[in-house]
Amino acid sequence: MKKSCLFVLTVVWLTLMCACSQQKGGEGTSADADSVVVVSEHFDYADSADNAYLTINIELPEAADEVTTKMRSYLLQLVGDRLSYVTSYEGRRAYPLYHGDSDDAATQLKYYFKETMLLLDTLSANDIGERKRYLEEDTTLTPEQKSEALNDLPNWGYEYKLLKTADTLNYVVFLSQDYTYTGGAHGGMGGDGYITFDKTDGHVVSQFVDTTRVVAMQPLLVEGLKQYYSEAGEQPMTTDELFERLQLPFDGPKRQIPLPLWQPCPTSEGLLFCYGQYEIACYADGMPSFVVPYSKIKPFLTDDALNLLKDYLK
């Protein structure tokens, strides 16, 4: 079996990590914990085929009580939904969800790993076969050019991470992120983003800010994006220059920055907003992200977020 390595996911992952502790371990091992920390298990898988590779790194809360059991179940469902739609661009699952013992996380994850690897193997082999046929039928290429092109056919790759990025007295945050490469000019980042659980009952904070107040939030979003580009080494921008730089959705209001598809992530300093690749900017601009201080974002928080972050809003 041959292995391939892509470092894009690692770099972006480190960039998006919240300022908090990160626990490490092998499959089935538990991290150290005290009375506050959510104890975790780590599940790591890697394999490759002739034309594709797959790596999966997952961290799940141990099912120690009703709250952590609820979190664990939610994340396992999230993993199944994400992996069973890998490379699917038509809204259809590539293979069925796991239907065995819902409490057996290891067996579930091994099922998804096996099915995803088989899927990548099949699709990549079909893709390579089509590329070879195209090259062989191309009468404009010399035998040397064909040989060179055949030797440079790209392998597919998929990397998935679900890891804990923050663990405080009131909440715990996991980041779901993946990287997909299917032989094009470059791969793409995706995932479900930040998932924040309220530790009181284990529910997910599904909405941090009032989506009906996007217009009123524009100054905060503009300021945050200017900060992002400035910290990336760009010269200070005017607001007009920022809008010229951005690639906003064609079906949205002109000169209005939308909220990110990912939910914001709470940090000790404020809410971290992160946009996906191509969401508001070109590929070269990465995934624009910035922190809005709680003192500024407080008027726009939902009741659920206000309750979760009350200790930071005093």
Query: Does the pLDDT of residue 193 top 70, yes or no?
Result: yes
pLDDT at 180: 96
Query: Does the pLDDT of residue 27 top 70, yes or no?
Result: no
Q: Kindly state the helix (H) or strand (E) to which residue 146 belongs, with its residue range.
A: helix 143-151
Q: What is the mean pLDDT of residues 188-213?
A: 97
Query: Does the pLDDT of residue 177 top 90, yes or no?
Result: yes
| pLDDT tens digits along 236-277 | 999 999 999 999 987 777 889 999 999 999 999 999 999 999
| pLDDT tens digits along 28-57 | 333 333 447 999 999 999 999 999 999 999
| Residue 310 DSSP one-character state | G
Note the helical H segments in 232-278. 239-245
Residue with tokens 């709470």: 266
3-class secondary structure, 130: helix
pLDDT at 16: 59
pTM: 0.87
pLDDT at 249: 81
Measured over the CA atoms of residue 227, residue 255, residue 281 and residue 276, the dihedral's sign is positive
